[in-house]
Chains A and B, each alone.
Chain A
Amino acid sequence: MAKLDLRGVVKRFGDNTVCDGIDLQVDTGDMVCLIGASGAGKSTLLRCINLLEPIEDGAIYLDGEDISVPGLDPQGVRARIGMVFQSYNLFPHMTALENAMLAPRRVLGRSRDDLRPEVEALFTRFGLADRMQNYPDQLSGGQQQRVAIVRALAMRPEVMLFDEITSALDPQLVGEVLDVLLMLKAEGMTMLLATHEMGFARQAADKVCFLKDGKIVEEGPPETLFGSPKHPDTQAFLARALK
Chain B
Amino acid sequence: MKTPKAAGLTRREIYEAQQRRRSVLVASTSTVLAVVALVVLVPLTPGWDKVKRSFFNADVLVDTFPKLLDAFLINVMIFAWCAPAIAVLGLLIALARDAKSPALFPLRIFGATFTDVFRGVPVILTVYLIGFGIPGLGLPRPWNSPYIWGSLALILTYSAYVAEIFRSGIDSVHHSQRSAALSLGLSERQVMRDVVLPQAVRNVVPAQMNMLIALQKDVSLLSFIGPVEIFRQAGVFKSLTANFTPYVGAAIIFLAVTIPATRYADYLMAKQMKERR
Interface residues of A (CB under 8 A from B): 47, 50, 52, 74-76, 78-79, 81-83, 85, 87, 89-93, 102-103, 106-107, 148, 151-152, 155
Q: How large is the interface on B (under 10, 10 to 19, 20 to 34, 35 or more residues)?
A: 10 to 19
What are 24 A-B residue pairs whose CB atoms fall within 8 Å in the complex? A52-B179, A52-B183, A75-B187, A78-B182, A78-B183, A78-B184, A79-B184, A79-B185, A82-B183, A83-B180, A85-B183, A89-B179, A91-B177, A91-B194, A91-B195, A91-B199, A93-B198, A93-B199, A102-B194, A103-B181, A106-B194, A107-B190, A151-B184, A152-B183
A50 close to B183 (CB less than 8 A): yes
If A93-B198, A93-B199, A106-B190 touch, whether A87 touches B176 (CB-CB below 8 Å) is yes
Whole-angstrom distance from the CB of A182 to the nearest CB of chain B?
A: 23
Q: A91-B180, A148-B180 provided; 7 other pairs, C-beta below 8 A?
A: A47-B179, A79-B184, A85-B180, A89-B176, A93-B198, A107-B184, A152-B184
Q: Which of A52, A82, A91 has the most CB of B within 10 A?
A: A91
Name B194's closest neighbour in chain A (CB-CB).
A102
Whole-angstrom distance from the CB of B243 to the nearest CB of chain A?
A: 54
**Contacts of B186 on A, CB cut-off 8 Å?**
75, 102-103, 106-107
Name A74's closest neighbour in chain B (CB-CB).
B182
B5 at the interface (CB under 8 A from A): no
B271 at the interface (CB under 8 A from A): no
Whole-angstrom distance from the CB of B41 to the nearest CB of chain A?
A: 54
If A92-B199, A93-B198, A106-B194 touch, whether A75 touches B180 (CB-CB below 8 Å) is no
**Contacts of A81 on B, CB cut-off 8 Å?**
183
Going nearest first, the 10 A-B pairs with the smallest beta carbon separation are A79-B185, A89-B180, A103-B184, A83-B183, A107-B185, A78-B185, A93-B198, A89-B176, A106-B190, A50-B183
